[in-house]
Amino acid sequence: MVTVSAPVHRPTGTAARRITAAGAVAVLALAVSSCSGETPTAPGSVTPVPTPTLTTATAPVSTPVPDPTVVTPVPTPAPTTPSTAPAPEPCTLESLHRTAGMEALDVLIYCDGTWMRAGQWQTDHLRNLTWDGDMWVEYPPDGHTDLSGYPCYDADRIAQDGVPPAVRDQLTLCG
């Protein structure tokens, strides 16, 4: 005996996704309602949902009145160290630019109010200067190196003139 059965139609594509989504929503609804701890309601009945209310309160603003009999101490500023001391007035680009020919310099590499090393950003244009009390004056080199033509300085003159180590360490010595 041969039995012939009709082919089973299984939904595919969009229909399958819709059926799967509907099943997932039903399972999720059951899971949420079983965890709520509330008594289930009869099918078709409506459960009222409480509406939250927003209450705002404003505190009264009071301005404190200072007591004239209380003396408030004024804090004494902490002593400055060389690393936190403000730069002297001459250590500004404005004061440097008062010297003719120094307008292109835009980076202060070192300045202590007496000595300055300044340069032009992203170039090898560097100048060493001393403060004469009114303006910056270029500290002249003693010569130039053979290979590069960079300015060089005599070690004895640097020591005699009191060039600070921060500048001295950046100078090329002649000879």
> What are the boundaries of each domain within the chain?
93-168
Q: Cα 116 to chain center, whole Å?
A: 29
Main-chain phi, psi angles of 128, to 5 degrees: -110, 130
Provide the residue type at 79 as one letter.
Answer: P
CA distance 153 to 116: 16
Q: What is the pLDDT of residue 3?
A: 45
Q: Quick count: other Cβ atoms within 10 Å of Cβ 96? A: 22
List per-residue pLDDT tens for the chain, 175 residues long.
Answer: 444 445 555 555 665 566 655 555 555 555 555 555 555 555 665 555 555 555 555 555 556 665 655 555 555 555 555 555 554 589 999 999 998 999 999 999 999 999 999 999 999 899 999 999 999 999 999 999 998 999 999 999 999 999 999 999 999 999 8
153 close to 170: Cβ distance less than 8 angstroms: no
Token representation of residue 58: 């404003």
CA distance 81 to 17: 74
Provide the residue type at 123 as one letter.
Answer: T
Which segments within the chain are labelled E, that is strand? 107-111, 115-119, 126-131, 136-138, 143-144, 151-152
